[in-house]
Amino acid sequence: MNLVVFGPPGAGKGTQARMLAEARGLVQLSTGDMLRAAVAAETDIGKQVKEAMETGQLCPDEIVIRLISDRVDEPDGANGFILDGFPRTVAQAEALDALLKDKNKDLDAVVEIKVDDDLLVGRITGRFTCANCGEGYHETFRPPKRPGVCDKCGSTEFTRREDDNEETVRRRLTAYHSETEPLVDYYSGTGRMKTVDGAQDIASVKEQIEEALSGL
Ligand code: AMP
């Protein structure tokens, strides 16, 4: 099964994609994670995208399309993949259709996680991640059970994304509305669009997604 999970920054795409990938044996492909890794490793791609990422703008379509095109061929995606944060423009969606056709693969569903802007800023500015296993947390909505200790792996090291500050979040939301939201129209006509209410807590969003995908 191949899926796209899409929605505004802070909607919970990464959290839901991670749980869905574990439950269904799929690989989660996050262009944001790939690009952050490229920036940290100071690769050529990393150098080209660093400024856009730090300022909350989208990176060039050609770069992210190439990343995904190379990645979907790897053996860990044999059961299927969940694209998290890609496509983010109509040009990327068209490129995805073309590359899947070329590889004889199909897109089974596009899960839209819908959340109003006023909720998102608070969600994003409070979030942090285990530096060891990548488990996601939030100061208010999902603190670790034991303060300062990761529930999943016991690590005491956590990180915050550099672009999770209010000013950059607002720019990321603007980019979402102007460049990514048109994908709702792009996918609506295909019958593969499943919209869930992302304002609910993590467990209820997970349930909604499971229900939306139950027939697949
Ligand atoms: P994310 O982790 O999905 O919130 O992405 C973080 C940042 O990476 C975004 O603000 C963009 O600068 C960049 N990025 C991630 N995915 C894409 C994409 N599909 N197209 C363009 N830029 C992207």
Catalytic residue among 161, 170, 171, 192: 161
7 lines ligand 1 (CB under 6 A): no
Cα(86) to centroid of ligand 1, in Å? 8
- Phi and psi at residue 159, to the nearest 5°: -130, 160
Place of tokens 């061929």: 73
Cα(49) to centroid of ligand 1, in Å? 10
85 lines ligand 1 (CB under 6 A): yes
**What are the b/e assignments for 72-96, b being 16+ CB within 10 Å?**
beeeebeebbbbbbbbbbeebbebb
Given a cut of 90, whether residue 189 has pLDDT beyond it is: no
pLDDT band at 74 (very low <50, low <70, confident <90, very high): confident
Ligand 1: which atom is nearest the Cα of residue 33? 2
**pLDDT at residue number 215:** 80
**What are the b/e assignments for 135-145, b being 16+ CB within 10 Å?**
bebbeeebebe
CA distance between the termini of the chain: 8
Annotation marks residue 146 as catalytic: no
Cα(53) to centroid of ligand 1, in Å? 7
User: pLDDT (tens digit, 9 = 90+) per residue, 104-151?
Assistant: 999 999 999 999 988 999 889 999 999 999 999 999 989 999 999 999
